[in-house]
A and B are shown apart, each in its own frame.
Chain A
Amino acid sequence: MIKLQINDKEVVAKKGESVLEVAQRNNIYIPTLCYYKGLSAYGGCRICLVEVEGYQRPVTACTLPVHEGMKVKTESQLLKKLRRFNLQLILSEHPHACLICNQESECARYQECIQKTPITFGCKFCPSNGDCELQKLVDLLEIKEIPFTFSHRKLEVEKYDPFFERDYNLCILCGRCVRVCNEIRGAGTLDFHHRGPETLVGTAFNLPHLETGCQFCGACVDICPTGALRDRYSKWRGLQDRWVKTSCALCSIGCAIKLNIREDNLVNSAPDDNQICVRGRYGIVPLVYHPKRITTPLLKKGKRLIQVDWKTAMDFLCTKLSEHSGKTGILFSSQLTTEAIDAIGSLRDNFIITALPADNDVRPFSFKDIKSEAVFILLNTDMVSDFSPLLLTLRSRIKTKPIFIVIDAMETQGAKIADFWLRPEPGKEQDLLNQLFARGKTGNRSGVSAGDIAWCKGLLDNKNVYVLYNAFNIENIELPKHVRALPMTSMVNALPISKLHLKNSAIDLLQDQDIDCLYLIGTAPKLNKKYQTIIVQDCFLPGFDLDLFLPAATFTETNGSFVNIEGKSKKLRKAIEPLGYAKPDEWIIEQVRRDLQSSVRTGKIRKKRREKNSNLSRTSKKYPFRLITRENCYTYRGHTLASLLKGFERLRQDNHVWLNKQTAKRLKAHNDTEVMVIGEDISVLLPVMISDQVPDNSVFIYAHQSLGMIKSQPVKIKVVKKQS
């Protein structure tokens, strides 16, 4: 315990703490700008200066370690003068027209919408107006004028990346974005360039963020004290006046989030003192208000869909369900609330029920299982793209810095920043695992060099080895006893669905020729036959004809819960009323149950013969290429985020088939050439995208239900000639 005095008040501190931390703990206010809890202390803004007895000049409190007997003063004439000096200097290169204008309050009444102008040269024109730390400090330090010559950097606003914009004319070089990106997220996308008065923040070689491995998590935008970094979408929706704490239901992690609200409209979603990913940060609110969102029931009349009221819709529904009794299948998404799923489960005596995706054997993921001195082998799973908050939690929870080895034939984001990347031939992952865990020399069966395998074996010595994998991307791996397998899934509600012990799978349902009626709840799979009646309960129209559309509420518009990857129940809190006539899924199911005639009974369908998984590496003359598939974890209910939101389309490019330059040359294909990918049981038409991430003689597709139930297998590629 160290005793010191701050403003003549006795306080105690631990060795290694800074004066600022101690002051904040004792509710003694010291103004700051570049300091942020959780980041390393920078000491660059010079605002938190304090005077210490015996010291030649004031020192920054955020970097000053405490020592016994220190006497600190946080307020004085000198400190006020110097804080003002530094803030005025900062403002001399930050557009401050409105900050010191004496017409400010008058002006406020007439210029509400001016935030949308392209050039920011004052508070009124800045999207962070009212939410800016410079404004707060100017008020606190009572700055009435800025005696320095003003210089504008004259940089163009960087608008070429999705999701957020960067106006570095407003940057005050506090370095918070640099530190959060490097220290907390580990993405390393931002850093300082040049030095002295030319200093700027930016990416390596000023490349667009899309090309630098930026995760678009928004951590930099959240931490920026000014309007230099701002969301593009929410910029137009104004400043929030309250928020609701809830959970993000877009993947199995279920991060805690805040939904910011202004006058009963969602503004944006933001982290709740934690780290989230691009889906939760930029995927939620634009979906809720998407122009293609359907919020009234639709009924097919002739060739068109017309809007009807709920009564008409439910009457039609119940009529049809009775008509097709015994021949109706329900295919529901896991991305519903647990309450909705339970409600669907209660209909199992009335209908054939299947889930997409589903897994009858689910083990919750537990951090408690993981000991220190850990090595994680990430197998066919891009933790950075798909599970970044989980990755960050793993890194921070485990005391000794864990080692990450990625095994993936694809060069994923995770592979790029792993401690080591082993690249087996597609389909040879088990061979590689065998080589890795075997004793003594092993052959070259997996396509990875003996040197690399030896190196990794060394990394595994005396460590607790965990193999993390997405069960969708690789099946039936065999591991020795001392290696723990930690299967993961991006599926929300995996545990409740597995507890339903569903008799049939989605494939069974979609293959069955006897089924006449499909009731799709949150799903939009590729259909293999014509159905007499199709009912869709979702937020967006699917890509096929339907007879009845029931508008569902998103998870921001309903109370409820869902179960995450750890088996924990995550609370959902209603932030706004459902748009239009949309209703929560469980309300709709409840109506069905209530109005259903007891004569409606479930039928029986055949189980599809489980074919042996075709060996991906066994290409033939007929099928010379290897199709690598990975689960597309960027989905909401039946749709990929990319199919609905432009930003995600640019980020993911998941509506293409990827192949590298060598394969493209072989096929004589270019970007956007349309090709048919044909295998034993798949046939899909997609445009090409040339990507270095794909290995030779292979093609890659993000598996999504709208393409059919595709799995990794040998394929052939046929270039479709365009009809001129």
Chain B
Amino acid sequence: MMRKKTANKESRLHLLVCAGTGCVANHSFDVKEELEKEIARQGLHKEISVFTTGCQGFCERGPIVIVQPDGIFYQRVSKKDVPFLVEEHLLKGRPVKSLMYEPGPEKLPIPKMNDIGFFKHQRLIVLRNRGRLDPENIDEYIGFEGYQALEKALTKMSPAQIIAEVKNAGLRGRGGAGFRTGLKWELCRNASGRVKYIVCNGDEGDPGAFMDRSVLEADPHSVLEGMIIGAKAIGAQKGFIYVRSEYPLAVKRIKIAIKQAEKYGILGKGILGTDFSFSIDVIQGAGAFVCGEETALMASIQGKVGRPHPRPPYPVEKGLWGKPTNINNVETWANVPMIISRGAKWFSSIGTKGSKGTKIFSLVGKINNTGLVEVPMGITLREVIFDIGGGIPGDKKFKAVQTGGPSGGCIPHDLLDLPIDYESLTEVGSMMGSGGMIVMDENTCMVDVARYFLNFTQQESCGKCPSCRLGTKQMVEILDRITDGKGHKGDIEFLEQIGINTKLSSLCGLGQTAANPVLTTLKYFRKEYELHIFEKQCPALVCKSLISFVIDPDKCSGCTICAKKCPSNAINGEPKKVHTIDQAICIKCGICITVCPEKFKAVRKVSPAVK
């Protein structure tokens, strides 16, 4: 249980402990408790305060503790580090180097947060409050100029002016499709009927994506503020926030935020003393990726099965219960307050011609600095992956970056200098999507990647239209065969055909984009497919049916460790004599590679498989 702590004005130091899901899973609450205990024990509690904040974004390095006002950044802090940290830094004033971020082996630790590459190159608009406020305390949000944009919108602007501002800012939907937000609001406003709804799409189903989760957990009020401004502009009386139930912390925080906002007269009847009334309900999803699709989402809110319906008619014409409904992503809503308070001109000065503002990406995969990054549109892939991400671990070679989750595509090395925006990504066959960015190195098999994503979309397909339900099934079957060494001539051409047809005739976005991973990997990595099919070779050494584990006779010292650890007794050899792996029995689990001592490194994978 977190106790609400009010700021101690006399504190000379504030310790901000990250309480995003990642750090919480890594026991950051225990770290906080231990800090408070230790600080009290050292008699420092009158001068040093400890707070929890939302996700810092550098999730790989959690638990994270930041010391302000110095901006010292501590990472991977565990409970047992606390006494030393309190004594050394807080009492004696000597920051602890061992807890600081090191950009690489034999490189100096970087004490200040703003000097770390991961943070230096980011431009925080949506995540402006991350790491600096307690998301369960509305006063802190207000303290950081929260709800001032709302006041401006309600008292000094007309709905038409609000919409014009958002239009001129050039904000585009951050959920994936990138539709112009201002235009959508205008269409909804102009739709006939008095009853209107707005919806915040927090279903975030892409595997590996956690941008929306972070925003809801770290700064829920920014989303609420955006929604209230939007409701005023559109003329809606009721809003729904649809969050997937796999995000219990996000659900908890947004509900607390709503309660607090209602208490302060920011939600409910007569907001901020005006005659505008608006209320928000939180609805939880029930485990279906397809419910991130707007028509399925609306069906789910209405208590029906999450099955999409063809569009047109679009939700802005006919949405929830047949009424005009405006649906925007969490990140889109969170952009709105800044646009209103700092103006469209400011917002449109960031980004590229067609894509304004910033975008949050979840940078994951084979990358040194895993986490959430917010960068201006137009930044290149190279900058994100190498300057912010710190490059590929183990000095491996970059192979591809997958953007847009299961709806997106893989972008190869040659396109690393591609500036990131909606159009450029679509042109190369991928898409922005919700912002997933999975980095792949030389040990990633592109055929396997396509198979992985297609497996996902197959299982998540709602089953209504044959294009998606059966089109993805046929593609998965072919990819299964290819990765199993049973590919044959004609498979590639057939895959392409199915992919294109599924793309064109599927009912909803899930089916329409399901083929993208296949089509882009075929476009840029066709050779890899051909090797799988014709040479039965997996160059990345991933596909089990196409690889063999072998012991290099020149390197093996006969230490017998691998033979002892092998779970299927497939390794034979006398002590101090070269060992061999019996290919007929080997189950390719990889334990032998892991246990072979570093100095020998005698076990390796080869492809094609040996007999």
Chain A interfacial positions (CB closer than 8 Å to B):
42-46, 49, 57-60, 63-65, 78, 81-82, 85-86, 89-90, 92-93, 147-149, 172-173, 192, 194-199
Contact = CB atoms under 8 A, between A and B. Distances in A.
B469 A86 contact: no
Contact of A195 (B462, B470, B503, B512): B462
Interface in B448-504: 458-467, 469-471, 473-474, 477, 494, 501, 503-504
Given A57-B512, A82-B501, A92-B470, A43 B463 contact: no
B474 A44 contact: no
Nearest to B477: A149
B288 A49 contact: no
Given A60-B310, A86-B505, A199-B469, A92 B463 contact: no
Nearest to A81: B501
A196 B477 contact: no
A196 B461 CA distance: 5
B104 interface: no
A78 B504 CA distance: 9
B466 A46 contact: yes
Contacts of B507: 43-44, 46, 60
5 contacts: A43-B310, A82-B501, A92-B470, A195-B290, A196-B463
A64 B463 contact: no
A195 B505 contact: no
A46 B309 contact: no
B394 interface: no
A580 to B, nearest CB: 51
Contacts of A58: 504-505
A177 to B, nearest CB: 15
A85 B505 contact: yes
Nearest to B462: A195
A45 B461 contact: no
B313 interface: yes
A125 B463 CA distance: 27
A59 B474 contact: no
Contacts of B470: 89-90, 92-93, 148, 197
Contacts of A92: 470, 474
Contacts of A195: 288, 290, 461-463
A89 B474 contact: yes
A82 B463 contact: no
Contacts of B312: 59, 64-65
Residue of B463, B471, B503, B507 ringed by the most chain A CB atoms within 10 A: B463
A132 B470 CA distance: 21
Given A82-B501, A173-B463, A192-B463, A197 B309 contact: no
B305 interface: yes
A192 B305 contact: yes
A148 B309 contact: no
A388 B503 CA distance: 45
Contacts of B313: 65
Contacts, number: 91
Given A65-B313, A82-B504, A197 B465 contact: no
B505 A148 contact: no
A44 B504 contact: no
Nearest to A172: B466
B484 to A, nearest CB: 14
Nearest to A63: B310
A194 B469 CA distance: 12
Contact of A197 (B467, B469, B512): B469
Interface string B217-233: 00000000000000000
B474 to A, nearest CB: 5
List of 10 A-B pairs having minimum Cβ-Cβ separation, nearest first: A199-B463, A43-B310, A89-B470, A63-B310, A196-B461, A89-B466, A85-B501, A82-B505, A44-B464, A196-B463
Given A192-B463, A196-B458, A196-B462, 17 more contacts: A42-B464, A45-B466, A46-B465, A49-B505, A58-B505, A78-B504, A81-B501, A82-B504, A86-B466, A89-B466, A89-B474, A148-B474, A172-B466, A195-B462, A196-B461, A197-B458, A197-B469
A89 B463 contact: no
A192 B304 CA distance: 12
A49 B512 CA distance: 14
A196 B466 contact: no
Contacts of B309: 43, 63
B463 A90 contact: no
Contacts of A86: 465-467, 505
Contacts of A64: 310, 312
Contacts of B461: 195-197
B173 to A, nearest CB: 16
A246 B279 CA distance: 59
Contacts of B471: 85, 89
Contacts of A89: 466-467, 470-471, 474
A308 B602 CA distance: 103
A148 B469 CA distance: 13
Contacts of B512: 57
B552 to A, nearest CB: 41
A81 B309 CA distance: 23
A81 B502 CA distance: 11
Residue from A58, A81, A89, A148 having most chain B Cβ neighbours under 10 A? A89
A57 B501 CA distance: 11
A82 B497 CA distance: 11
Contacts of B501: 81-82, 85
A196 B505 contact: no
A42 B473 CA distance: 22
Contacts of A60: 310, 507
A304 B277 CA distance: 89
Contacts of A149: 474, 477
B503 to A, nearest CB: 8
Contact of A194 (B460, B463, B464, B466): B463
A46 B467 contact: yes
Nearest to B474: A148
B507 to A, nearest CB: 6
Contacts of A45: 465-466
